[in-house]
Amino acid sequence: MRRGSACRICRLVILERGPSPFAVTASFEPEFHSLDETSGARVNNYGLETRLEADAELIKNRLYFGSNLLYEPETTRDNLGAWDNESTWGISSALAYQIVPGVVVGADLWYLQHYEGVGFNTFTGDAVFLGPTFYWHIAHHVLMSAAWETQIAGHEVGATPGNLNLTDFSHARARLLFEFEF
């Protein structure tokens, strides 16, 4: 069980889609966790997921391309008071197609690198994730989005080549979001 909280995501629109087919947004999501997500041990964990998100409408109301840059510094203090700093850097690309009005399906590809230290101090490994995405605009102000990705390649420094990097990254990642605006 992962106990903790994520503060509200702060989003800053840098370039709005309108006359231009492009949009760019920066997002910041601070996180705190009191339990280690792997061992369940009590810790103080702080992170800040920072993204630069860009997308383009390739075919009006039909085909979309998106790309993200990710930087996530993280620090964890264990029971003994020792601090452990790490960071993740990544880039993604996605292609999505609106099959019927309000329903969009696509594919997402992520490349992630993990480092000891918040300033890319020591490279520890990387991973490539690939999977489907789904978006459904259910009703006015109601939507659902989902994504599932599996690690298709990875490398952990010092490990046998060809294996996945299951030390720094999970085997699969999933996200399900229901959004109600009021």
How remote is the C-alpha of 155 from its chain's centroid? 19
- Tell whether pTM > 0.75: yes
Q: pLDDT at position 150, please?
A: 97
Q: pLDDT at position 126, please?
A: 96
d(C-alpha 88, C-alpha 48), whole Å: 10
Is it the case that residue 182 has pLDDT exceeding 90? no
d(C-alpha 71, C-alpha 93), whole Å: 15
Q: Which residue has the higher pLDDT, 37 or 61?
A: 61
List the domain boundaries for the chain: 4-133
Q: pLDDT at position 2, please?
A: 40
Segment 132-172, tens digit of pLDDT: 999 999 999 999 999 999 999 999 998 877 789 999 999 99
d(C-alpha 151, C-alpha 157), whole Å: 17
Segment 26-47, tens digit of pLDDT: 999 999 988 877 778 889 999 9
The single residue listed with the structure tokens 């993204």 is: 51
**Which residues touch 134 (CB under 8 Å, ≥6 apart)?**
104, 105, 106, 144, 145, 146, 147
Side chain identity, residue 21 = P
Segment 79-132, tens digit of pLDDT: 888 899 999 999 999 999 999 999 999 999 999 999 999 988 999 999 999 999
